């Protein structure tokens, strides 16, 4: 039987006084984290949360976010970390979809919580995890924990094995967000593999730079309890604050997306702080530009680097490029641009359009199966069946294996744009641009960018006589979408958008023209 919550209890027993999580000015020991988590689970039980229900967390990274990761499972429920970068409309749509009975919100996002309360009656209670006066209609988080009643029978109620532990939202090529249901087994499998892939030592200190609403950062929360790892978090990414916290907490492992690594390397104060405690840096979520990797290897010559490739549906890791191949010369240098080899628990194949495995060197779709693969998409059985046809998860990414079994990414079958580690799905942006009165037709493509990986590039055909500015188009999108989804580059064209033989917009042609022209 696998119950992720058991790992928290074991950590509290083994290392009660050692730090479990630090964020801002607060540090909780493992014993404190366990006590507070059980108190929150009791509050949820008293509020009527039962097996199969959901708690949503809307807030920056914090110890409260970590508490919300563990507490629902103690009563058989699941947590849904909400992307705080979404617009109000998108947030309300997300809450309507997952229907949490309880919402935990931090101080910065309380105004959005009020809008959610007005639009989403299925949210029965909002716990306010902020300072000062508790907003009308909400319940103070700390007050609720301090006055929690007698604990229910967590041993009987606790979720386990194939029960949903956490649900992350990821976009879809149709523009409809999909809730990815991950189980105790999924997350435990990924956490155990991290111990061997990254040589994680007992009671180290790990810095998680990404937001907890992403599985890349979120999976580290569950993994930390296995070895009593001290999680160091930031509410928002800041390079100077990161370097100061690395020195303060003697961080041993840093997790990045490539954009954050670039910000760190480019910062003029990088030499001011003692970062000698760092033994390893891991990265993922977006391809690493080779030039950036070479800079990192030179700036941190004693640090081991590791790359993880995967996606939310895989909890998230499918392949790992271990430190031995992060070298600039020698026989192993040629693997630096690869995604590494499949992790031990995952079967990964490259197949043709009929799901027949392809030989080394031939490009096809990357598919995978294993105990890390999701339970499915929330309330989307047909989409789940399509993605999991034949018992394999179809990633939508194309790639190939070399003769040594290293996986290389060849592109994306779906037209997703990855900017700063965030996934942007073109149809969602195109639909919003289509509501502008001047826009006749539009297409979103990704344009390479040295800092963000890709920029969201809008190619627009206008109605006759219309003459909006680039700034007006971007501002229009920002009224309805999260800022990271909005175009940062707009190209106007007088000729129609190019079409394929089946009369779909030919985005390959657009990328070739605008990115190579």
Residues 284, 150: Cα–Cα separation, whole Å: 43
Q: Where are the beta strands (DSSP E) in 107-161?
A: 125-129, 139-140
SS3 95: helix
Q: How far is Cα 29 from Cα 39, in angstroms, rounded to an integer?
A: 15
Considering only residues 28 and 258, tell me which one the structure prediction assigns the higher pLDDT: 28
CA distance 459 to 487: 10
Report the C-alpha gap between 127 and 99 in whole angstroms.
16
Q: Which residues contact 81 (CB under 8 A, 6 or more apart)?
A: 56, 57, 65, 68, 69, 166, 168, 212, 213, 218
pLDDT at 287: 61
**CATH assignment of 417-516?**
3.30.300.30
Label residue 517 by pLDDT band (50, 70, 90): low
Question: At 195, is the pLDDT very low, low, confident or very high (cuts 50, 70, 90)?
Answer: confident
* Token code pair at residue 146: 């301090």
Q: Cα(219)–Cα(310) distance, rounded to whole angstroms? A: 12
> Closest Cα to residue 36, out of 131, 127, 148?
148
Residue 315 neighbours by CB under 8 Å, 6+ apart: 182, 186, 187, 189, 190, 215, 219, 372, 373, 374
Residue 173 has pLDDT above 50, yes or no: no
3-state secondary structure of 150: coil
* Across 195-202, average pLDDT: 87
Domain limits, the chain? 4-236, 332-412, 417-516
CATH architecture of 332-412: Roll (2.30)
d(CA 307, CA 311): 13
Residue in this structure with the two tokens 């370097």, named with its chain if needed? 243
Closest CA to 458 of 469, 474, 472: 474
421 has pLDDT over 60: yes
Statement: 4-236 belongs to CATH 2.30.38.10:
no
Token pair 């990357």 in the structure block, residue:
366
**Arithmetic mean of pLDDT over the chain:** 92
């Amino acid at each position: 039987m696998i119950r992720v919550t058991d790992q928290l209890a074991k950590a509290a027993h083994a290392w009660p006084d050692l730090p479990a999580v630090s964020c801002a000015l607060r540090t909780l020991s493992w014993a404190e984290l366990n006590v507070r988590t059980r108190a929150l689970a009791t509050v949820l039980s008293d509020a009527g949360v039962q097996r199969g229900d959901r708690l949503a967390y809307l807030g920056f990274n914090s110890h409260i976010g970590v508490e919300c990761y563990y507490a629902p499972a103690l009563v058989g429920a699941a947590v849904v970390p909400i992307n705080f970068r979404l617009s109000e409309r998108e947030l309300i749509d997300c809450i309507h979809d997952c229907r949490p009975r309880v919402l935990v919100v931090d101080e910065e996002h309380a105004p959005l919580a009020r809008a959610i309360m007005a639009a989403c009656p299925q949210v029965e209670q909002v716990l306010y995890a902020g300072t000062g006066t508790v907003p009308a209609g909400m319940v103070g988080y700390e007050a609720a924990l301090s006055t929690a009643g007698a604990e229910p029978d967590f041993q009987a109620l606790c979720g386990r094995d194939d029960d949903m532990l956490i649900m992350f939202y990821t976009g879809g090529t149709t523009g409809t967000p999909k809730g990815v249901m991950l189980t105790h087994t999924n997350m435990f499998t990924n956490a155990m593999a991290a111990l061997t892939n990254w040589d994680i030592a007992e009671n180290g200190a790990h810095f998680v730079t990404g937001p907890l609403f992403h599985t890349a950062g979120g999976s580290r929360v569950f993994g930390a309890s296995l070895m009593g790892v001290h999680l160091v978090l930031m509410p928002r990414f800041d390079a100077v604050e990161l370097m100061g916290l690395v020195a303060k907490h003697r961080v041993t492992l840093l997790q990045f997306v490539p954009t954050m690594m670039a910000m760190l390397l480019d910062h003029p104060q990088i030499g001011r702080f003692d970062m000698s405690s760092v033994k390893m840096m891991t990265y993922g979520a977006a391809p690493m530009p080779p030039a950036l990797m070479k800079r990192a290897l030179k700036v941190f010559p004693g640090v081991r680097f590791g790359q993880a490739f995967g996606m939310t549906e895989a909890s998230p890791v499918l392949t790992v490029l271990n430190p031995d191949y992060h070298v600039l010369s020698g026989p192993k240098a040629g693997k630096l641009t690869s995604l590494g080899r499949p992790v031990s628990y995952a079967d990964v194949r490259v197949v043709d359009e009929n799901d027949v495995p392809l030989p080394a060197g031939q490009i096809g779709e990357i598919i995978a199966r294993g105990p890390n693969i999701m339970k499915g998409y929330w309330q989307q059985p047909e989409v789940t069946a399509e993605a999991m046809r034949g018992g394999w998860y179809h990633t939508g990414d194309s790639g190939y294996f070399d003769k040594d079994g290293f996986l290389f990414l060849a592109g994306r079958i779906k037209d997703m744009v990855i900017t700063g580690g965030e996934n942007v799905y073109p149809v969602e942006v195109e639909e919003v641009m289509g509501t502008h009165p001047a826009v006749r037709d539009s297409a979103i493509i990704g344009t390479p960018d040295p800092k963000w990986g890709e920029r969201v590039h809008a190619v627009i055909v206008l109605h006759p006589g219309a003459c909006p500015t680039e700034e007006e188009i971007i501002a229009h999108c920002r009224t309805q979408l999260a800022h990271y989804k909005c175009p940062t580059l707009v190209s106007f064209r007088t000729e129609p958008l190019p079409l394929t033989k089946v009369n779909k917009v030919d985005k390959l042609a657009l990328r070739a023209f605008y990115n190579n022209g």
